[in-house]
Amino acid sequence: MSKHIVILGGGMGGIATAYDLRKLDKSLKITVVSGRPYFGFTPAYPHLALGWRKFDDITMPLAPLLSKHGIDFINENGESIDPDANKVKTTGGKEISYDYLVIATGPKLVFGAEGQEQHSTSVCTAEHAMELNRKLEEFYKDPGHVVVGAIPGVSCFGPAYEFAFMLHHELKKRGIRHKVPITYITSEPYVGHMGLGGVGPSRRLMEDTMAERSIKYIANVKITKVEPDKVIYEDLEGKTYEVPCKLSMIMPRFMGPDVVASAGDKVANPANKMVIVNRCFQNPTYKNIFGVGVVTAIPPVEQTPIPTGAPKTGMMIEQMALAVAHNIVNDIRNSTDRYAPELSAICVADMGGDAMGFFASPVLPPRSVVKYKKAVWMHWFKSAFEKYFMWKVKTGDVAPFFEEGMLKLMFSVHPIHLCKDCAGSPGSPC
Amino acid sequence: MSKHIVILGGGMGGIATAYDLRKLDKSLKITVVSGRPYFGFTPAYPHLALGWRKFDDITMPLAPLLSKHGIDFINENGESIDPDANKVKTTGGKEISYDYLVIATGPKLVFGAEGQEQHSTSVCTAEHAMELNRKLEEFYKDPGHVVVGAIPGVSCFGPAYEFAFMLHHELKKRGIRHKVPITYITSEPYVGHMGLGGVGPSRRLMEDTMAERSIKYIANVKITKVEPDKVIYEDLEGKTYEVPCKLSMIMPRFMGPDVVASAGDKVANPANKMVIVNRCFQNPTYKNIFGVGVVTAIPPVEQTPIPTGAPKTGMMIEQMALAVAHNIVNDIRNSTDRYAPELSAICVADMGGDAMGFFASPVLPPRSVVKYKKAVWMHWFKSAFEKYFMWKVKTGDVAPFFEEGMLKLMFSVHPIHLCKDCAGSPGSPC
Amino acid sequence: MSKHIVILGGGMGGIATAYDLRKLDKSLKITVVSGRPYFGFTPAYPHLALGWRKFDDITMPLAPLLSKHGIDFINENGESIDPDANKVKTTGGKEISYDYLVIATGPKLVFGAEGQEQHSTSVCTAEHAMELNRKLEEFYKDPGHVVVGAIPGVSCFGPAYEFAFMLHHELKKRGIRHKVPITYITSEPYVGHMGLGGVGPSRRLMEDTMAERSIKYIANVKITKVEPDKVIYEDLEGKTYEVPCKLSMIMPRFMGPDVVASAGDKVANPANKMVIVNRCFQNPTYKNIFGVGVVTAIPPVEQTPIPTGAPKTGMMIEQMALAVAHNIVNDIRNSTDRYAPELSAICVADMGGDAMGFFASPVLPPRSVVKYKKAVWMHWFKSAFEKYFMWKVKTGDVAPFFEEGMLKLMFSVHPIHLCKDCAGSPGSPC
């Protein structure tokens, strides 16, 4: 009888795993469980916030998509996991038995600074981005100070940089740039760190780019409070400062959602409730549970004075999905071959007219390959990739051969590799 | 009857205002009052000091020039202003009544460090530059240490950088560069600040350029004393240091000349005796008094540990002149339209072989446009601009249309813009 | 009767002096004294360590080489010098009388950190490089942490940088780069200082290059101890730290060998036993004794918090040899013309795929010319220069005219110049 694989989450990680599994084995029974009825292209949420994209441009309804590929879809969130009974319960009360469980829910957002959720807006969900867009339309009529930032514990800094640069571009186009002081306030030890310990000379590049764009930056501090008209932060000595602010976009930190915690301490990392995985993104205790995407517990690249985490970029997530799909199928087929994702990160920060791109492989140093580029074509490359990705999702082909070929050609990188010993921290060499 | 506009000063600001007024209205009576009988192209004074230009190359007698355009010329300095009686008295005892007064005298130089005036030479006037040229000819025969620098309160750092780089170039050509240690000592918090809070990555660019040219730099200090063979400076903790020095070029700071002070505290800023103006470069108390150029009181771009001021570059001065000319003519014509200068600064530091250029618009952050370039063609561009400017002065066309077109084309900047509300600090958004 | 010139040392300095002398005067009796039977191209020793060159590629037996040019060769080391009797004694007991003595022995290596000699390996001799190559072959099978570094007092940092970058390249090629954390630990106040106070923006360039290559750096510290599995260093406050280390390449510092010390305190600098020379590389006390190469006592470019020395690069050594040969021949011919070397340093750090080049002339600031470049062609330039140099040694033409021409053409530099007054520190302006 064919095995049943349940996937919690219908985002980049969930969909990529579902498609990769389907591609590897036509006979598998696959069920995607997601309360959100659509797939959204997360990297374009800052564009949604600025009105450069419409909601329909960067989202796709899940139901017709999945059914076309013979994947079942339950439009409810997972509520709890019983890893001993191999069962998932949904918010609607359904009980689903699984042979393999893939947790790819994405994160729960934590607005750790006082007043952050009320007075600031993130770009982490399509809903937030659209709310920010409405706020911006008001703001343009009577502009003032803007703060873009990231609270302690953030692991995803890219969208903050992008939003600051793109806002600069938009304000210039509207001829009101000189009326809007923009301040970037971050928990990174320096700008360009990006939770990655920097990528090549990213610090220099970012400092220069901020200076060119007249964006002030304050690094190595904790945003503690967001008020309607100011942002308050604290330095390492505990001294507090405030910056006037009419509009802010401050990144929240991420933790695992409650459904992960429900599976107990052997699945959920006690510190942040994210899914504990080994090098092959398999849970070390429950061998039939896997994690994919932002919900997995990956150690930080380096200790920073104020805590920061390692980002999990789209490319890393696709690599995790591909490795997990292979590992599940090989387990079913009694093959002992296991794969680990390379965890190489490409990160393109759009800046409106041009864009800045970084590539680090692997993400955790020492790195074999580091590349960076600031260019106009990078802006178009990012837009092209978005269209391409939406097409991939539509056609159901998440890691087509020609893309792997590109990756190999451009960066001499394979997305996944055979791993002799899966025991070990995710991202550490096999 | 046609109105009488009196302009104090025959430098860049005075001449530009006179020409712009004449262009806007052929019937106006315009009088330029200047003790100095010639117009001098200030940005080329460092070139005069190095003997790369002759006095006649970069100056032009005012009398024939102004008469050709129907502008009266009184070759005396202004001695006092009576703003209530609308009268100016000259050093020769003439009393002139005005309908509108434009103060464009340029600065009074303040040699704030002990011994600075005796033992150092500036490039702020043609006379100083020619004296420095004579000193240099002696120096080349028996070279030694050189100090180039700027005392606290300086707002014009460009010529100091230029002089250091150009001297390097000249010494190399003479084959004695290795006998001349050059030290740049400045009140800027870092090199490349330029009283502007930096322009894009100007700090990096300047540090690199200094290192390439083997020029040592000491920033964030106060030069307190200049002796015949050394320069003494003090750090923020009050510790003093000395640098050996056979020849020095140390920039003085600027204040308003006595004629401004004579107009009282409503015209002269008590702190520095410069002309108090609003966004439209009109005095807020005496609506028929305007300020143009270095003599206007513009707030610093940012607070620095040791005081520095914002430079008023040629482009800014031309913009002020154009705005003031429009504002006077509109006032005469009972139009309520008032203009504010954009205050965008282009700043090209010649370095002999090549040059470094910065463009910031507006000068006071947040800036819409920031550009920078270090290139050989910039050197030629600067020389070409000098010739072009001298031609403009000769022909009487200070802001020809094609130049405005260039500005718009190259930087998307208009030199002046309509200002809904003139009340406010000069340079702040209308 | 023809004069007898004895040269201690058969390396770059000794051979260059011998050839230059022979070229200037066919009748001179020249004897080279060297315990090492071969000439080795020192700059390629890092390549030997990595197995990119074989021993035979970069060495040449001295005996046939010298006899071809009519130069006597004694294959023994100098043991002592009696400068009053104009005699040298060799380790084999031979006594040799000289009219002129050129000391070009190269340095004695000082492994100043505890355990450095046992647990670390240098690339300063061909033997060390080959030992390091054997260690590396083992290391590749079971890789781990690598430390590359320089202890206090080092004057030759180039090979350390080169080795780190070349190892990165080799590890990448072998696909194991991500298993090898590389740490660069140095006594320089910052990376890119190179004992030269930096060359142009070398700090920035080096920091960027290290970041791109995922090499961590720790500067301004003293390596105090090397253990089989770790390296221990101390900061300026005396705090100690340790870095895990499976393989290390740590540069020793240099002093003069015992044979120099035997000549007494008027020949050997008491501090480091190197040869005391004036601007013309002549000993001020014994006018018929000269120094060439690394064994000469040149003052540091600048005081650094932790002592470092000025490197003596191949180009500087060739310039010293050329000056000394001229000075000896002029003395014989009763000409009073004396020459000083320009002491301009070219320094190309190979990085495998590309290379970084610096040029400073003169080395001791103020410098007339500073150039730098990072490019792929620099890598090939360095390899080509090696082949060219080996060909020069073989044909006996150490400073052929076309090379001098190139130098003049590319950098406007003459290798040597007439010196009016030889009394003064080597490298100071005549």
Render pLDDT for B173-198 as a digit per residue (tens, 0 to 9). 998 999 999 999 999 999 999 999 99
Given this model, what pLDDT does residue B54 score? 94
Across the interface, whether the CB atoms of B201 and A180 are under 8 A apart is answered no
The rounded distance, in Å, linking the Cα atoms of B242 and B231 is: 6
Q: What is the pLDDT, as a whole number, of residue B173? A: 92
Q: Edge to edge, what strands does the sheet with B247-251 contain?
A: B215-218, B182-185, B146-150, B247-251
Closest CA to B170 of C371, C368, C361: C368
d(CA A272, CA A260) in angstroms, rounded, equals 10
Annotated catalytic residue C156: yes
Q: Which fold has domain A109-253?
A: FAD/NAD(P)-binding domain (3.50.50)
What pairing do the DSSP bridges indicate for beta strands C72-74 and C95-97?
A: unpaired
Taking the Cβ of residue A204 and every Cβ of chain C, the question of whether any pair is shorter than 8 Å is answered with yes
Q: Which of C198, C204, C366 sits opposite B178 (nearest CB)?
A: C366
B340/chain C closest Cα distance in angstroms: 41
What pLDDT was estimated at residue A361?
A: 87
Q: Which is catalytic among the residues A124, A245, A347, A419?
A: A347
User: How is residue B381 written in tokens?
Assistant: 């561009």
Residue B364 vs residue B332, higher pLDDT: B332
Cross-strand pairs, A244: A230
Place of tokens 């793109």: A166
Confidence class for position A355, pLDDT limits 50, 70, 90: confident
| Numbered ranges of CATH 3.50.50.60 in chain C | 109-253
A145: nearest CA partner in chain B: B366
For residue B311, cis peptide bond before it (omega within 30 degrees of 0): no
First to last CA, chain A: 33
- Cα nearest neighbour of A212 on chain B: B200
- pLDDT surpasses 70 at B233: yes
CA distance, residue B52 to nearest chain C CA (Å): 20
Residue among A200, A367, A368 whose CB faces C208 most closely? A200
B54 and C CB contact within 8 Å: no
The Cα–Cα gap between B156 and B313 comes to 8
Q: What percent of chain A has pLDDT over 70?
A: 96
Q: Which two tokens stand for residue C56?
A: 């035979």
Residue in C with minimal Cα distance to B177: C368
How far, in Å, CA of C98 to CA of C284, rounded?
18
Q: Does the pLDDT value for residue A81 go beyond 90?
A: yes
For A429, nearest residue in chain C (alpha carbons): C179
- State which residues of chain C have pLDDT below 70: 1, 397-413
**Is C430 within 8 Å of chain B by CB?**
no
pLDDT, greater one: B153 or A393: B153
Query: Is the CB of A374 inside 8 Å of chain B's CB atoms?
Result: no
Question: Would you state the structure tokens that stand for residue C429, as one six-digit string?
Answer: 């302006």
* Across B306-328, average pLDDT: 93
- B214:C429 CB<8 A: no
Query: Which residues in chain B are closer than 8 Å to A204, comparing Cβ atoms?
Result: 204
C177 touches A at CB < 8 Å: yes
CA distance A71 to A69: 6
> Any idea which of A397-401, B232-236, C160-164 has the lowest mean pLDDT?
A397-401
Q: Which of A357-371, B261-275, C314-328 is predicted least confidently?
A: A357-371
| pLDDT reported for residue B383 | 79
Answer whether C182 sits within 8 Å of A366, measured CB to CB.
yes
Q: Is the pLDDT of residue B400 over 60?
A: no
State the DSSP string of B34-75.
-SS-EEE-GGGHHHHHTTSS-GGGSEEEHHHHHHHTT-EEE-
pLDDT for res A377? 78
Q: Rounded to a whole number, what is the distance in Å from the CA of A344 to chain C's nearest CA?
A: 12
Residue C214 makes CB contacts below 8 A (sequence gap 6+) with A365, A366, A367, A368, A370, C168, C177, C182
Give the Cα separation of B230 and B227 in Å (integer): 5
The pLDDT score that the predictor gives to residue B169 is: 94
Contact indicator for C221, C234 with CB cutoff of 8 Å: yes
pLDDT of residue A410: 60
Query: Which residues of chain B lie closer than 8 angstroms to C201, CB-CB?
Result: 207-208, 211-212
Could you tell me if A174 lies within 8 Å of chain B, comparing CB atoms? no
Catalytic residue status for A124:
no
Nearest to A177 among B201, B202, B368 (CB): B368
- Whether C172 and A370 lie within 8 Å, measured CB to CB: no
C-facing residues of B in 286-315 (CB < 8 A) are none
For chain A, the average pLDDT equals: 92
B396 versus A134: the higher-pLDDT residue is: A134
> Which residues of B are designated catalytic?
156, 347
Q: With beta carbons less than 8 A apart as the criterion, state whether C328 and C21 touch.
A: yes
Nearest chain C residue to B143, by CA: C429
Peptide bond into C362 cis (omega under 30): yes
Q: CB of B320 within 8 A of CB of B344? A: no
- In Å, the largest CA–CA distance within chain B is 67
Class of domain A4-106+256-418 (CATH, top level): alpha beta
Residue C282: both structure tokens together:
């002549």
Nearest-by-Cβ selection for C366 from B182, B204, B207: B182
**If you count residue pairs, one on A and one on C, with CB atoms under 8 Å apart, how many are there?**
37
Return the exposure string of A284-297: e unless at least 16 CB atoms fall within 10 Å of the residue's CB, then b: eebebbbbbbbbbb
β-pairing, C222-227 vs C230-234, is: antiparallel
Asked whether the beta carbons of residue A370 and residue C207 sit closer than 8 angstroms, the reply is no
Closest Cα in chain A to B200? A212
Cα distances (angstroms) measured from residue A416 to each of A279, A351, C28, C173, C384: 11, 31, 70, 19, 40
Structural element, H or E, at residue B138: helix B126-141
- The pLDDT, as a whole number, for residue C165 is 95
Is B204's Cβ below 8 Å from some Cβ in C? Answer: yes
Tally the residues of chain B.
Answer: 430
Task: Give the pairing type, strands A4-8 and A100-103.
Answer: parallel
Half-sphere exposure of C113 toward its Cβ, with a 13 Å CA cutoff?
A: 33
The pLDDT assigned to C365 comes to 87
Check B367 against A177: CB less than 8 A apart.
yes
Q: Considering only A20-34, A353-367, C64-78, C81-95, which range has the smallest mean pLDDT?
A: A353-367
Residue B402 reports pLDDT greater than 60 = no
Nearest CA to B41 among B54, B28, B30? B54
Query: Which among B201, B204, B365 is the nearest to A214, CB-wise?
Result: B365
Give the minimum alpha-carbon distance from C181 to chain B in angstroms, rounded to a whole number.
30
pLDDT band at A407 (very low <50, low <70, confident <90, very high): low
Largest CA distance in chain A: 67
pLDDT digits (tens, 9 = 90+) for A198-252: 998 899 889 999 998 999 999 999 999 999 999 999 999 999 999 999 999 999 9
Tell me the per-residue pLDDT of B7-18, one tens digit each, with 9 for 90 and over.
999 999 999 999
Indicate if the alpha-carbon torsion angle A17, A22, A23, A24 is positive or negative.
Answer: positive
- Catalytic pick among C124, C156, C245, C419: C156
Q: Do A214 and B366 make contact, defined as CB atoms within 8 angstroms?
A: yes
Chain centre to alpha carbon of residue A350: 16
Sign of the CA dihedral C292, C253, C45, C348?
negative
Which positions in chain B touch C372 (Cβ < 8 Å)? 212
Q: Residue B395 is inside which H or E element, if any?
A: helix B376-395
Residue B332 touches partner A, C-beta closer than 8 Å: no
Which residue of chain A is at minimal alpha-carbon distance from C216?
A: A366
Residue C263 and residue C281 in contact, taking contact as beta carbons nearer than 8 Å? no
**Interatomic CA distance for residues C391 and C389, integer angstroms:** 5
Maximum distance among all Cα pairs of chain C, rounded to whole angstroms: 67
Nearest CA in chain B to C344: B178
B73: which strand partners? B32
ipTM: 0.75
Separate counts of helices (H) and strands (E) for chain B: 11, 24
Q: Check: CB of residue A190 under 8 Å from CB of residue A204.
A: no
**Would you place residue A390 in the very low, low, confident or very high pLDDT band (cuts 50, 70, 90)?**
confident
Looking at chain B, the domain(s) classified CATH 3.50.50.100 span 4-106+256-418
Q: Do B366 and A178 touch (CB under 8 A)?
A: yes
Q: Facing residues of A361 across strands? A: A369
Backbone angles phi, psi at C380, to 5 degrees: -75, -30
Where does the pLDDT of residue B351 fall: very low under 50, low under 70, confident under 90, or very high at 90 and above?
confident
Residues of C in contact with B207 (CB under 8 A): 201
Taking the alpha carbons at both ends of chain B, their separation in whole angstroms is 33
DSSP state letter for A107: P
Chain A residues with CB inside 8 Å of B429's CB? 178-179
Q: Do C214 and A362 touch (CB under 8 A)?
A: no
CB-defined contacts A:B, below 8 A: 38
Alpha-carbon distance A355 to nearest alpha carbon in chain B (angstroms):
17
Say whether residue B408 is in contact with chain A using an 8 A CB cutoff: no
